[in-house]
Amino acid sequence: MEKTNYLIYGGGSHSRVIISILEKMGVQVVGIFDTNNKIKTIKKISFLGNYKTQIDSKCKLVIAIGDNKTREKVSQTIQHPIGTIIDPDTKINKDVLIGKGSQIITSSTINVGTIIGKHCIINTNCSIDHDCKVNDFVHIAPGVTICGGVSIGKSTLVGAGTTILPNVKVGKNVIIGAGSLVNKDIPDETKVYGIPAKIIDDEKK
């Protein structure tokens, strides 16, 4: 069966990661949409300027943007088929569900019963244990450990090297600072940091 070619939206550093994964998968990237006119190519892949629905309309597209809010905003404009990226060098249980547009990056492990939403980024060397739920547009940064039964709300950022203990519920639009230990539930729209993680605004009062 002939492999589908890909387009990438976003020409920043994360796009280089996505391109390297697609190369491992034996998939050709035919162009990159980006508004930065100063960059002309990455690895001989041409920049195509602003997004246009008519360019290679049968290609799949992946949004290579790390920022959750920007990735969500862009996703609302895309009319190409959306691709899901799973690095061959990952370990994903057969009973894991992964939503459209999500990206599972090198050396990550996802265990049985876990659900990953749409347009998530599970970054390098993450470990997500059994029966977790990661909602849409979440970014799990490199080296994060998420224990079993954890729930993470929409558009949350889990900072690099963080550990989340079993059965914790993390709200939506949360930012967890790098290297934190999350041992209790976190409400929506908060920023937390530390060992154990505490709401940052509360510490300033």
pLDDT digits (tens, 9 = 90+) for 62-104: 999 999 999 999 999 999 999 999 999 999 999 999 999 999 9
Asked whether residue 174 carries a pLDDT value surpassing 80, the answer given is: yes
Residue 153 — very low, low, confident or very high, per pLDDT cuts 50/70/90?
very high
Whole-prediction pTM: 0.93
Cβ neighbours of residue 1 under 8 Å, at least 6 residues apart? Answer: none
Phi-psi region of 24 (alpha: psi -120 to 50; beta: other; left: phi over 0): alpha
- Please give the domain boundaries of the chain with CATH numbers for all domains: 6-75 (3.40.50.20), 85-192 (2.160.10.10)
Q: Which long-range contacts (CB under 8 A, 24 or more apart) does 172-177 make?
A: 172/135
**CA angle at 104 for the pair 51 and 183, rounded to the nearest 5°:** 120
Which of 9-18, 112-121, 165-174 is the least confident region? 9-18
Backbone angles phi, psi at 107, to 5 degrees: 70, 15
Distance, first Cα to last Cα, the chain? 61
Please name which of 137, 144, 138 lies closest in space to residue 160, comparing C-alpha atoms.
144
